[in-house]
Amino acid sequence: MAGSGKTTFMQRINSYLHAKHDPPYVINLDPAVRNVPFEANIDIRDSVNYKEVMKQYNLGPNGGILTSLNLFATKIDQILALLEKRTAAPPPAKPGEPQAKPVRNIIVDTPGQIEVFVWSASGDILLGSLASSFPTVIAYIIDTPRTASTSTFMSNMLYACSILYKTKLPMILVCNKTDVKDAEFVEEWMTDFEAFQAALREEEENPEGGDGLGGGGSGYMGSLLNSMSLVLEEFYSHLSVVGVSSMTGEGVDDFFAAVREKAAEFERDYKPELERRRQQREEEKKGKQEKDLNRLLKDMNVSTASSSKQTKPPKAEPETISDMEDEDDDDDDGDLVDPDEEDDDEEKDGLTQRYQQALKDSESNPHGDDFSFARYMHKANIG
């Protein structure tokens, strides 16, 4: 949520990895940030001007961020190419030069507005593309002092639950600002239902709250929080909770240990599901291409038949019986195969073969270009 220390946490883990002589590859996806306290290898602000987008499309702040992400998502293939190049093993160094090391960690700073990034098409494209190439883990940052209130705690849990089931990726809850308040109570409330009940009763007896933040209140609010804590019990079992102080650096080691654990979980549990969904999309795409081809061939057949009917001269009315007999003989000859029709069939067969070959070429295309049938027809200058 706003003010939870996302950017400061990014700076802390970036400096931690640099101190370990394992520099990460950093990506900034927030187009509205004025300045960031870390050096980004890929910055959306270099490609998209947030203020110009707002001015040109007459948008507000959130609409400008969303449109900027949509524009940047069109470059996802270039981003993946850079990331794959930097994470691959480098060639052997020349004599006397130090050997370069591949990048082991990629850190992506997303826009702070959850609804703008998680629930947008561009956010789905960016996350899905990264997850298709690398083990991807989501870190949800929590403001620990604010979460001391049961209502704010439950709001954070609902946000995290929605993100987990929308992205279908491993998640770590990072309880930030532990230098102000320890995060042990968060883990206790997540694992011990009775402890959360006790905190809720205490807030009902003291509505102002000992920390001045107010509590869950009484009446329907207390009943709602009770019910939600029971509902989310299964959800808690799929999360890792880490207490971190972005100011002092305490807990960063635990965070990266959780990242390694979730990366292994991604390979074990999440990657097969991603492969299944990708295979399903490929089958749907092939079925749609075959349907488009059949529809086009059917339309060509109809148009060819209609044109042949229009060019055929109209029959004259027979004047005598002998003329009628002659017309019957002509109709019998119509049962023979027209050489032009054979040519049409051969042309359609050849067209089908060329289209199928184009599909095979598109599947083997490393850049993933979309060789649709309409583009193939345009390139081949057909009809």
User: Is 246:228 a contact under the CB 8 Å cutoff?
Assistant: no
239-269 per-position pLDDT tens digit? 889 999 999 999 999 999 999 999 998 888 8
Residues lower than pLDDT 50 in the chain: 210-212, 321, 332-337, 339-341, 366, 368, 370-371, 373, 382-383
Q: Which of 186, 182, 184, 218 is nearest to 202 (CA)?
A: 218
β-strand pairing of 25-28 with 106-109:
parallel
Q: How many CA atoms lie within 13 A of 92 on its CB side?
A: 3
* CA–CA dist 138, 160 (Å, integer): 10
Q: How many CB atoms lie within 10 A of CB 210?
A: 10
- Beta-bridged to residue 140, according to DSSP, are 173
pLDDT given at position 313: 55
127 alpha-carbon distance from chain centroid: 4
* CA–CA dist 256, 242 (Å, integer): 10
329-354 per-position pLDDT tens digit? 555 444 444 544 455 555 556 666 76
* CA–CA dist 68, 62 (Å, integer): 10
pLDDT given at position 337: 47
pLDDT given at position 51: 92
- CA dihedral 331→336→339→344, nearest 10 degrees, is 90
- CA dihedral 64→65→66→69, nearest 10 degrees, is 120
pLDDT given at position 336: 47
* CA–CA dist 10, 43 (Å, integer): 14
Q: Which of 113, 363, 184, 266 is nearest to 122 (CA)?
A: 113
77 alpha-carbon distance from chain centroid: 13
Q: How many CA atoms lie within 13 A of 268 on its CB side?
A: 7
* CA–CA dist 353, 365 (Å, integer): 18
What Cα–Cα distance (Å) separates residue 19 from each residue in 42, 204, 221, 323? 21, 47, 47, 103
pLDDT given at position 358: 64
* CA–CA dist 382, 351 (Å, integer): 9
DSSP three-state, residue 372:
coil
In order, the DSSP letters of 281-339 are: HHHHHHHHHHHHHHHHHHHHHHHHHHHHHHHSPPPPPP-SHHHHHHHHHHHHHTTSPPH
Fill in the DSSP letter of residue 147. Answer: G
Give every strand in the sheet of 240-243, ordered side by side. 138-143, 171-176, 240-243
Which amino acid appears at position 284 of this protein?
E
Angle at which helices 150-167 and 193-205 cross, to 10°: 140
Fill in the DSSP letter of residue 264. Answer: H
* CA–CA dist 112, 2 (Å, integer): 7
Backbone angles phi, psi at 6, to 5 degrees: -65, -50
β-strand pairing of 138-143 with 171-176:
parallel
User: Is 218:204 a contact under the CB 8 Å cutoff?
Assistant: yes
Which amino acid appears at position 201 of this protein?
R
Which residue is listed with tokens 């598109």? 362
pLDDT given at position 212: 46
